Amino acid sequence: MNPELQGRVFERTPGYLVGREKIREFSKAVFSTSPLNFDVEAARAAGYADLVAPPTFSVVVQELTLAQLLSAPDAGIDFSRVVHSDQRFTSTRPIVAGDELTAVLTVSSVKVLAGNALVTAESRIEDTAGEHVVTAVSTLVVRAE
């Protein structure tokens, strides 16, 4: 694992268009029963433009940024040795169907201890107006060989 990765900012991901059926599919997968995740009328009655995504849905967009990090040729990360240690979402507003989202990943820290590397990656997710929607932060442990 290359410690010089600390501070690196990756390229903004292409727009991800949040679809209604994707929200329904994801909501079902996380055992949601909230009508706001499934029923457009219920979501509208609650003041939303369309179906609302569950709080951890942004992982779908974050995943695109983590793929950039893991595949960076000079990162030296062996995917099979990566363990997800911490995850956090800090949001300004929920994601709604119809949102088009982009994300920028920043490697906020790399710590190497006894060969194991602890990497904190912060993905800032914005809408087409450039407004902040949610920041997803992952801490990954890359185990020594």
Partner 1 sequence: MGIDFSALSVGDVVGEHEFTLSRDSLVRYAGASGDFNPIHYRDDVATSVGLDGVLAHGMLTMGMAVQPIIEWIGDPALIDDYGVRFTRPVLVDPMSGALVQVTAKVGQLDAEAGTARIDIVATAAGATVLGKAQVRVHAPRAADPASADSAAGPGAA
Residues of this chain that interact with partner 1 (CB under 8 A) are 22, 25-26, 28-34, 36, 46-50, 52, 54-56, 59-60, 63, 80, 83-91, 93-94, 96-99, 127, 137
H or E element in which residue 102 lies = strand 100-113
Choose between 21 and 74: whose C-beta lies nearer to partner 1: 21
Token output for 13: 């991901």
Choose between 8 and 39: whose C-beta lies nearer to partner 1: 39
Q: How far is the CB of 47 from partner 1 (least distance, A)?
A: 3
Cα-based angle 59, 145, 116 (whole degrees, multiple of 5): 60
Nearest of 78, 98, 92 to residue 125 by alpha carbon: 92
Q: How far is the CB of 53 from partner 1 (least distance, A)?
A: 8
Choose between 74 and 113: whose C-beta lies nearer to partner 1: 113
Nearest 10 degrees: CA dihedral of 40, 41, 44, 49? 30
